[in-house]
Amino acid sequence: MPSTYSAKQASRSVRMVAITLAIVLAALAAKAGLRAWGIDDGGWVALGFMLVGFAAVFALALPFWKGLDDFQRQGHAVSVYWGNLAGLAVTACIIAAVGLARSEFMLGVATLATIQLGCSLLLYANWRLKGRGFGFRTDE
């Protein structure tokens, strides 16, 4: 069992990566098996594995996040914020350069951006209200 802070965080990171890779490999194997049997699932198996994967990553990330100090949490928050903005900017450039403005890809990007913005605004509102004594889990 790791004893230092860095060793614990490294161990958690390795476990998260290993479980994520196992879920991806299981999804690929299930998809290959269905194709070998001639079954077309319409993407439902992939969606199921993706949802299980997201749930596993969130469950595994919680102890990792709780183990971070405030400075490290701030660094992760800043990198996620600016990383998402940079990713959306690069995607917008690709859409403009390739001419995908009226494609299914653009519809997916717009849906993703809208949902990200909505979730971000909800969580930011909760954070602001929590600072004023309102919001979810004010006891922390």
Contact between 95 and 109 (Cβ < 8 Å): yes
pLDDT tens digit sequence for 88-126:
888 888 887 888 777 887 888 888 888 888 888 887 888
Q: What residue segments make up the domains of the chain, in order of their start? A: 1-67, 69-140
Residue owning tokens 């403005």:
101
Output the pLDDT for position 13.
Answer: 77
d(CA 24, CA 44): 15
d(CA 9, CA 119): 27
Instruction: Give the list of residues 6+ apart from residue 50 with CB closer than 8 angstroms, or none.
Output: 27
Confidence category of residue 136, pLDDT binned at 50, 70, 90: low
What is the DSSP secondary structure assignment for residue 3, as one 8-state letter?
Answer: -
pLDDT tens digit sequence for 53-63:
788 878 877 87
Output the pLDDT for position 47.
Answer: 78
Per-residue pLDDT at 140 exceeds 70: no
Of all residues in the chain, the percent with pLDDT exceeding 70 is: 94
Alpha helical stretches, state H, the chain: 5-36, 44-66, 70-98, 104-131
